[in-house]
Amino acid sequence: MTTQASCRALRWVALSAAIGCWSARLAAQSTDPSVADFSKLQTTNAAQPSPVGNAPAPVASATQPPATVTSEQPQAVTPPIPQSVSSIPSESPATAATAPPVPATNVLPEVTPGFATEFPRYQAPKDQSRAPSGQHTVQPRSLAAMLDVGVPDGAVLGVAYRPAFWTRLEAGAGTNSISPGMRVGAAVIPFTEGPSLTVEGGYYFEGDASAIVSQFAGHSHTRTAQQVGYQFVNFHVGLDFGSRYSTFFLHGGMTYLHTILHDANDALGGQSVNSQGDVTTYTFNQDVNVNVWFPSFKLGFLVYIV
């Protein structure tokens, strides 16, 4: 009874971790715009005029008026506009009508770190990999090669795609040393690195496990062991380290596994004979479906390539 309770507790912990990760993600989104809106960050960088060299470009454009961005920021954190750029048109129509467009300069205003990528009047220097505040604004690599080893996953080689910095989709193929298989999954990493929550589903085709069974059990139930395959779902919490070019991860949790014992009579059936020679036969006429919940783990790494 105690053991069942501990299993239930472990599942609740996993579920609570999922909710906690998601809550943390939402909290980060509401308080820190530099962390929260990854997709907007990319869009902003792409839409922002970034002439290289001395080509003049009006900063105030229809696609991205600077005052609009400024008005979205809280007053307390709005950076003071230096005199050198004070004549740049603002949102006010009157001001916009009287003030001509000003060629962009590379004057670096005093800005609060963390908001630099959204500062409208900044003209990116030739090296566009850095924002004025020193932050990297180069688009992170999102496609990775992945290799991991675990139970019941076996060894899986695959690809991972990071549509946003806090999530990762993955698909791969692997082997459990009996047969080939495949696996797909999704991970939530609310802080880019650190705690993570992963849900994966996998399928291993049926293969001949006679050699393995005889290795460990000393004998082989031939027909049953010749058709061993399974499907599984992992519910893992874990830790992911590194975020830009590579990630190492260690995940653990519970797994639900389903398998079918073919020719179960070969493995479970048989005869019993007593001292009088009376024979009792145990026969299994159909395949036996087996469902298992058990602890599982996995470790691996990703290398972002694109």
Cβ pair 236, 16 in contact under 8 A: no
Going by C-alpha positions, the residue among 239, 241, 207 that lies closest to residue 226 is 207
Stretch that binds other proteins, among 23-31, 87-95, 229-237, 263-271 (CB under 8 A): 263-271
- If the CB atoms of residues 86 and 215 are measured against other proteins, the closer one turns out to be 215
Q: How many residues belong to the site for other proteins (CB under 8 A)? A: 45
Which of 212, 233, 250, 303 lies at the binding interface for other proteins (CB under 8 A)? Answer: 212
Stretch that binds other proteins, among 12-20, 90-98, 133-141, 293-301 (CB under 8 A): 293-301
Token duo for residue 293: 């919940």
Q: Binding of other proteins at residue 2 (CB under 8 A)?
A: yes
Amino acid in the structure at residue 148? D
| Smallest separation (angstroms) from other proteins to the CB of 239 | 19
Cβ pair 99, 91 in contact under 8 A: no
- If the CB atoms of residues 115 and 204 are measured against other proteins, the closer one turns out to be 204
- If the CB atoms of residues 188 and 209 are measured against other proteins, the closer one turns out to be 209
Going by C-alpha positions, the residue among 249, 131, 247, 145 that lies closest to residue 197 is 249
- If the CB atoms of residues 191 and 297 are measured against other proteins, the closer one turns out to be 297
* SS3 call for 250: strand
Instruction: Compute CA distances 8 → 3, 109, 226, 295, whole Å.
Output: 9, 56, 34, 12
Going by C-alpha positions, the residue among 168, 180, 189, 151 that lies closest to residue 298 is 151
Q: Binding of other proteins at residue 75 (CB under 8 A)?
A: no
Which of 56, 103, 163, 270 lies at the binding interface for other proteins (CB under 8 A)? Answer: 270
- If the CB atoms of residues 60 and 254 are measured against other proteins, the closer one turns out to be 254
Which of 12, 203, 245, 294 lies at the binding interface for other proteins (CB under 8 A)? Answer: 294
148-177 binders of other proteins (CB under 8 A):
149, 151-152, 154-155, 176-177
∠ at Cα 111 (110, 116), nearest 5°? 135
Q: How far apart are CA 92 and CA 201, in angstroms?
A: 55
Stretch that binds other proteins, among 18-26, 30-38, 137-145, 266-274 (CB under 8 A): 266-274
User: How far is Cα of residue 3 from the mean position of the Cα atoms in its chain?
Assistant: 31
Which of 63, 75, 83, 286 lies at the binding interface for other proteins (CB under 8 A)? Answer: 286
- If the CB atoms of residues 31 and 285 are measured against other proteins, the closer one turns out to be 285
Cβ pair 58, 96 in contact under 8 A: no
Q: How far apart are CA 303 and CA 277, in angstroms?
A: 66
Q: Binding of other proteins at residue 14 (CB under 8 A)?
A: no
* SS3 call for 88: coil
Stretch that binds other proteins, among 2-10, 77-85, 110-118, 185-193 (CB under 8 A): 2-10
Cβ pair 261, 290 in contact under 8 A: yes
- If the CB atoms of residues 193 and 266 are measured against other proteins, the closer one turns out to be 266
Q: How far apart are CA 183 and CA 174, in angstroms?
A: 8
Residues that bind other proteins (CB under 8 A): 2-4, 6-7, 10, 149, 151-152, 154-155, 176-177, 212, 215-216, 254, 261, 264, 268-274, 278-286, 288-297
